[in-house]
Amino acid sequence: MLSLSGRAVWSRQKDGHWEIGIHLGLAEGKKLLKAALPKALLKIEAVPSLQARSLRIMGRVLACTLSLISAELVTGFFLKEGILPPFSAPSLDTTFRFFWLSVFLILSDGLKVYFEITGRSTLRQYSSDMAQVTAVIACHNTGKPITHTIEAATSMLSNDRVIVVDDASTDDTAAIAMSTDARVVPLKKNVGKSGALTIGLQHVKTKYALILDDDTRLKNIFLPTSLLDEGFSGIAFNVLPCRRTRESTDGKNLITCIQRYEYAKSMEIGRRFLDKTGSVSCISGAIGLFRTDLLREVQAIHSDVFPGEDLERTLILLLKYKGRIVFVNEIVWTVVPDSLKSLTWQRLMRWYPGYYRLMGVFFKIMINRTLPGRLRFEMFYNIYVVLSDPLKMSSFLVLLVNGYWSGIIFLYLFYLALEIYPFLTIDKKLPVLKYYIPTFLIYPVYGTYNAFLRTASFFVWVWHRYATKQWKPKTVSAQS
């Protein structure tokens, strides 16, 4: 039998980087293994001591994982060539192969995040000229909560530069909006969020337009108009789940805390990584600052389909108009689902079908050599996620059905080990201290839950696109 050893050796280099030397060894056949698999080398930026400890743990986990994968490959080769006699080994079992597939998929996701952390941009400097900005808020059956958004907007901008488009609400939303000091544009026919924004933009007379969701919370933020003056096309903000309990939404329970970490990870890592080349791939629908002339052109060719509408708007700007989009660390609050049921509905019906709807756009950006490499890499990863999610789910189900609990526990701990460095890196701003550790421990389960929903959303998209035709695009938009 083959016995394995794996160790991670750390050394501080003169250039201020940490080196992780991951050595793979075989008690028997060591020379053969070294010839086939030379040591892997990763360079990671110098980090504070606390984060360095987490990276040491990560190095050991990677060493053990690569050692085990090596054992699988080498054992298979020895059996095939007759060097070892046939024997019943779990590595040859279908269940075990699905296990290694899961290890690879989890590892690739984790390394992508590590790669982005080491390549993040520094925070931008800017100034604000509120006189150049008009806010447009599209709403439908929002009710009383819209008053918070309108009041925050009118506290920054003059009343005539806060435009509320009521998208044929069937409740008292229009009346509530009219009781404020904002300009209200009531629509008799429902045209969807994107259509309502297009109509609202017709009333904008300033150089720049700020689009807001009807549940966005603004407080003491600066609108970075100087960045648009410099030639950037759009601005993405640091959007986080609201920490307060408003109306019937609890902003301090475990569900909202997990989403807060998820959002913070996306903002602090993903958007800052893309910001370095001015190619942030999604300006959140919660808030975005644009050049008014460009935004009007983008909205004119937007499909007006709701799932992924903010992502589509951003990708049109990047692909068709070669726009440059940056990120600013101005924190804005949004209301998120506070129960598992409402969260599932949001992801299944509103978020994830947009991935399938925009697959063609992802591919066009990925192969467009005139666009920044980081943006093209992000589009490649989006396609990879869509294609790999069914593999993740099938692998997990095979392990579950066959009762391979040791493998499932290992995958959970492996995912958790990969999450240590991001968790220590970003500012999570969780509202309740007691949920810090539970959020971290539950996150691997939360990641699996989201992979299930992304896979299931394919069938939701097919149904509403081709059967009900509710998501039939107005135009071919960015895919043309």
DSSP code string of 415-459: HHHHHHHHHHHS----S-GGGHHHHHHHHHHHHHHHHHHHHHHHH
The whole-number mean pLDDT for each consecutive block of 10 residues of the chain, a chain of 480 residues, reads 36 37 37 39 40 51 53 54 48 74 92 92 92 96 88 92 94 91 93 94 96 89 95 95 72 88 94 95 96 95 94 96 94 92 95 96 96 96 95 92 89 93 79 79 96 96 94 62
Q: How many CB atoms lie within 10 A of CB 189?
A: 7
What is the separation, in whole angstroms, between the first and last Cα of the chain? 59
Burial (CB count within 10 angstroms: exposed 0-12, middle 13-18, buried 19+), residue 265: buried
Q: How many CB atoms lie within 10 A of CB 40?
A: 13
Would you call 265 helix, strand, or coil by DSSP?
Answer: helix
Indicate the pairing of strand 17-26 with strand 40-45: antiparallel
Would you call 338 helix, strand, or coil by DSSP?
Answer: coil
Would you call 68 helix, strand, or coil by DSSP?
Answer: helix
Give Cβ neighbours of residue 447 (< 8 Å, ≥ 6 apart). 415
d(CA 83, CA 166): 75
Q: What is the reported pLDDT for 244?
A: 72
Q: Cα Rg for the chain, rounded, in angstroms?
A: 25
Given a contact cutoff of 8 angstroms between Cβ atoms, the answer to whether 25 and 92 are in contact is no
* DSSP 8-state class, residue 137: E
Give Cβ neighbours of residue 405 (< 8 Å, ≥ 6 apart). none
| Residue tagged 């008690």 (tokens) | 27
d(CA 210, CA 10): 48
Q: What is the reported pLDDT for 78?
A: 54
Q: What is the reported pLDDT for 40?
A: 36
Given a contact cutoff of 8 angstroms between Cβ atoms, the answer to whether 231 and 224 are in contact is no
Q: Which secondary-structure segment (H or E) carries 12?
A: strand 4-12
358: left (phi over 0), alpha (psi -120 to 50) or beta: alpha
* DSSP 8-state class, residue 279: B
d(CA 317, CA 278): 12
Q: What is the reported pLDDT for 436?
A: 81
Indicate the pairing of strand 234-241 with strand 287-291: antiparallel
CA 357 to chain CA centroid, Å, is 17
Would you call 473 helix, strand, or coil by DSSP?
Answer: coil
Structure tokens at 160: 């005539």
Residue 312: name the closest of 369, 366, 351 by CA: 351
The residue type of 200 is G
259 φ, ψ to 5°? -65, -35
Q: CA torsion 223→226→227→228, rounded to 10°?
A: 90
Structure tokens at 214: 């009807």
Indicate the pairing of strand 208-212 with strand 183-186: unpaired
